Amino acid sequence: MAILETKALAKRFGGIVAASDVTLTVEKGARHALIGPNGAGKTTVINLLTGVLKPTAGRIFLEGRDITALDPHQRVRLGMARTFQINQLFLDLTPLESIGLAVSERLGAGADWWRLIGSKAAVTEEIADIVERFRLGDVMYERTGILPYGKQRLLEIALAFACRPRVLLLDEPAAGVPEAERHELLATIAALPADVTVLLIEHDMDLVFSFADRISVLVNGTLFVEGTPADVARDPRVKAIYLGEELDA
Amino acid sequence: MLTILFDGIAYGMLLFVLACGLSVTLGLMNFINLAHGAFAMAGGYCTVVLVNRVGVPFWLGLPLAFVITALLGGLFERTLYVHVYARPHLDQVLFTIGLVFMSVAATDYVMGSSQQFVQIPEALQGQFNVFGIGMGRYRLLIIVICGVLTLALQLILSKTRFGSRLRAAVDDQRVARGLGINVGAVFGLTFAFGSGLAGLGGALGAEILGLDPTFPLKYMIYFLIVVTVGGTSSIIGPFLASILLGIGDVAGKYYVPTLGAFVIYAIMIAVLILRPQGLFARSASR
Amino acid sequence: MTQLAGDVASYLKCRARWSPLEIVFWIFAFASIWLFPQKHLILTETAILALFALSLDLIMGYAGIISLGQAAFFGLAGYFSGLVAKYGLINDPVLALICSGLVAAALGFVTSFLVLRGSDLTRLMVTLGVALMLGEIANRYSSLTGGADGLQGVTIAPIFGRFQFDIYGHTGYVYCLTVLFVCFLIARRIVYSPFGLSLRAVKGNALRSAAIAIPVNGRLVTIYTVSAFFAGIAGALLTQTTAFCSLDVLSLDRSADLLLVLIIGGTGYLYGGLIGAVIYKFMQDWIASLTPQYWQFWIGFMLVLIVLVGRERMAGWNEAVRAFLAQLLSRATARKPALGAATPDRH
């Protein structure tokens, strides 16, 4: 059953075609990776899926429901969350507060103006749970702006996770993470619950091939090849794109 | 009705000369100079002093207003403005509002708070009657001078080296610097020139707009409207916006006096909502 | 509840606790009724300015909306309260106060969509435009508003039928201070709530806020409306305590003074407007005694000076002073800084 689908999704900026005829199907529970050379339009696709950009053409379906016209925050409410390639965090808030915001919004308590923060047990319990899961316990009282990059990256994923999405879009989660902090990050991603569908954009091929059960290749804004990791790895056209030469010529 | 159109066009072109310096500095340096009206006021008062008290002929008083105000602008730019270029917009607004307050109070102190008039030569008083349209001679002069200035500006921008450097710097400062264009000098010269134009506009407009120490505050909103509606990436944009504004204001005050300037504010707000980059601007790449 | 959850809850809750510095502030504020009986008139003006500044702090310091147009709400409510008193439509001052606030809030709600879109520059101009527009309307309809002469013939009935406004401003001051305190309590509650935290999130990173399901526009509209309400209350207080309302309630001067107050006092921790108002009024009083006519020059000078010195540097001094005072007063516990602590203004 497809949990996330696009039909002929396209985005033009004036004369530039950032994405065209992107028809993607992500199965429920899948670990689906979207790869492609730089500038292929991967982040554009994520921005279209989440509503940050409005498509020039095409439709998007989440669990069978047409969400093409919805605002970003409405899509999150329906169960689709994302992380950003370049950290988008609340630098002046602590991880505790940031996660708390995501949780209380989800529980419908985000607009409460008369209630003091921290007074709802359901929220604080869930914050504690997420802090433990994402190994942020030792930095949860610090200002986000001063955290080491690896921890910030973990917080980035934690925030998306706090929305309890059914579909999680990860935009290059390992980007810029120092070698020493990578292991923690990769372990956390691998430990995501099986019922959460993950669409992953990544350049790190080790991560892609160890994590994904299905891969789509995006080149110049269009979907080029799609299949299991083994198929994609073998496909000569994919090799040509990445290595720039035909293998048998 | 055509007289109103004529008056409106004159008013509009005057507004354009006054406001185009603001438009260029905003587009060029992304700098909000709310004190622009103070330079206009300076030009007006200069002319008043020169023509009324020193006895300089009117025709000489106008270019002198330009030159003196341009020098003043250049001075202020190098000594004060240069420190706030990199600041956030709020700081720039506060800074220039501060300058406005200072200039208004200082002018009040030095020149008194009553309205001042420039002595216009005989030849410019009265009106021509052409095809039943009453054309004030002074207003005709304004249209001619401002029209010539507009053409000259457009030519400078499109045909000269300085113009192309300016346009490059407006488009993308960093790249322009990277190409070796002395952006600082371009800023300084442009700011001085824009202030000079404002001064000239103030001198020309003393008769029509009224010159008193509160001038910068009264007309600031008009300049802002020209810049908002016309956008900052061309000369034509603010030009058309000024004409629209001029005709709208004159016609509005004539036909619907109870609403008066209300109409223009409403237009500005409408434009800001619908097209934040101005009616006539290209889609902003910033 | 697990140990960690308990820790989290107590950490979050303790930050909303009243700090000793705050308590001292309010004790002193109310004590001033008896400490400075001669100064009630100027203290009333200070309280009104403080409330007005508080309203701007809510949107600027917490939600990140820069506005040059708070005077619109101030002036609208000012004229409204004057008119209902003059024509006997609403006689009870407190009721008139609340209604004026609601009228201002309505204007805030209607104009809030203007500040949702666009950059800081657009917001500045749009808010300025709205305020100037109202000023123009007030000028035009001088038959109603009194035009440049101001609204004449306003008489304010005694509060609750008992407390008559007097020329020494005693009733007026107690009234204003109480209203200020009540509004402050409401604002404080808002700021320490999940709603308030979401505002800070929106100010910090609107993109991320939307990505965690915060309805950014909805929150901004709400706080803008609330801020308009408070600004309106302040305006109505001015009319009620002076029995007069004139065009300068809608002027650029007022909005500019307000920004100055917040810069002096600092934004983002609720007391900035209050402290700034006190300092500003003292300065104004002192300078006005030196040069009554050219006061505007010195305001301008101060604005220029402050910008040249740098707002961030001043915010830094501000924080240092507050930290020092807080240290003096509190025991040496490892207290987390208050939630409402000033975060560096990224404007």
Q: Comparing C-alpha atoms, which of B172, B259, B271 is closest to residue B224?
A: B271
Q: Comparing C-alpha atoms, which of C298, C310, C260 is closest to residue C280?
A: C260
Is the CB of C122 less than 8 angstroms away from the CB of B272?
yes
Indicate which CATH number applies to the domain containing A160: 3.40.50.300
Chain B nearest-CA residue for C113: B273
SS (H, E, C) C51-91: HHHHHHHHHHHHCCCCCCCHHHHHHHHHHHHHHHHHCCCCC
| pLDDT of B164 | 80
Contact B70, B192 (CB under 8 A): yes
Distance CA C101, CA C143 (A): 24
Q: Is residue A10 part of a domain?
A: yes
Regions of chain B where pLDDT drops below 70: 128, 130-134, 170, 258-261, 276-286
Q: Which amino acid is at B197?
A: L
Q: Comparing C-alpha atoms, which of B233, B225, B232, B272 is closest to residue C120?
A: B272
C149 phi/psi in degrees, rounded to 5: -80, -20
Q: How far is C317 from chain B (nearest CA, A)?
A: 18
Count CB atoms within 10 A of the CB of residue C89.
11
Contact A102, A165 (CB under 8 A): no
Q: What pTM value is reported for the model?
A: 0.85
* Domain count for chain A: 1
Which among C4, C15, C208 is the nearest to A90, CB-wise?
C208
Contact C40, C172 (CB under 8 A): yes
Q: Comparing C-alpha atoms, which of C199, C224, C228 is closest to residue A111?
A: C199
Contact C197, C53 (CB under 8 A): no
Q: Identify the residue among A91, A92, A133, A141 best suited for mutation to test binding to C, counting C beta carbons within 10 A and taking the highest.
A: A92
Regions of chain C where pLDDT drops below 50: 332-347
**CB-based contacts of C23, cutoff 8 Å, min separation 6:** none
Q: How confident is the model at residue A14 (pLDDT cuts 50, 70, 90)?
A: confident
What percent of chain A lies above the pLDDT cut of 70? 97
Contact B219, B38 (CB under 8 A): no
Give C-chain residues touching B29 at CB under 8 angstroms.
none
Is the CB of B98 less than 8 angstroms away from the CB of C132?
no
- Residue C267: which H helix or E strand, with range? none
What ranges do the domains of chain B cover? 2-212
Q: How far is CA A76 from CA A22, A26, A51, A84, A194, in A?
A: 22, 17, 10, 14, 19
Mean pLDDT across the stretch A150-166? 92
| pLDDT of C181 | 96
Chain A nearest-CA residue for C214: A73
ipTM of the complex: 0.88
Q: How far is C160 from chain B (nearest CA, A)?
A: 40
Give A-chain residues touching C16 at CB under 8 angstroms.
116-118
Residue spans of alpha helices (H) in chain C: 3-14, 20-35, 40-57, 70-86, 93-112, 120-140, 142-145, 170-191, 194-204, 206-211, 216-242, 252-265, 271-290, 295-309, 311-329
Which among C118, C125, C297 is the nearest to B105, CB-wise?
C297
Is the CB of B224 less than 8 angstroms away from the CB of C129?
yes
Is C313 in the B-facing interface, judged by CB distances under 8 Å? no
Is C137 in the B-facing interface, judged by CB distances under 8 Å? yes
| pLDDT of C332 | 43
| pLDDT of B278 | 57
Q: Which residues of A80-115 are buried (b: 16+ CB within 10 A; e: fewer)?
A: bbbbbbebbbbbbbbbbbbbbbbbbbbeebbbbbee
Q: Is residue A171 part of a domain?
A: yes
Is the CB of C212 less than 8 angstroms away from the CB of A162?
yes
What ranges do the domains of chain C cover? 19-249
C116 phi/psi in degrees, rounded to 5: -75, -40
| pLDDT of B133 | 67
Q: Is residue A249 part of a domain?
A: no
- Alpha carbon C244 to its chain's center: 21
Count CB atoms within 10 A of the CB of residue B22.
29
Distance CA C112, CA C103 (A): 14
Range of the domain at A204: 2-243
| pLDDT of C334 | 45
Is C13 in the A-facing interface, judged by CB distances under 8 Å? yes
Chains that touch C (3 or more CB pairs under 8 A): A, B
Q: Is residue A235 part of a domain?
A: yes
Which among A77, A92, A109 is the nearest to C194, CB-wise?
A109
Largest CA distance in chain B: 58
Is the CB of C125 less than 8 angstroms away from the CB of B87?
no
A121-133 vs A149-162: helix crossing angle, rounded to 10: 140
Give me A87's structure tokens: 């950290």
Is C207 in the A-facing interface, judged by CB distances under 8 Å? yes
Q: Would you mind telling me the total number of residues written for chain B in this entry?
A: 286
Mean pLDDT across the stretch A124-146? 91
| pLDDT of C210 | 93
| Average pLDDT for chain A | 88
Give me C266's structure tokens: 């600092």
Give C-chain residues touching B32 at CB under 8 angstroms.
121, 124
Largest CA distance in chain A: 71
| pLDDT of C331 | 53
Chain C nearest-CA residue for B226: C125
| pLDDT of B283 | 40
C252-265 vs B89-111: helix crossing angle, rounded to 10: 120
Instruction: Collapse the DSSP code of C274 into the 3-class scheme (helix H, G, I; strand E, B; otherwise coil) and give the result.
Output: helix
| pLDDT of A126 | 92
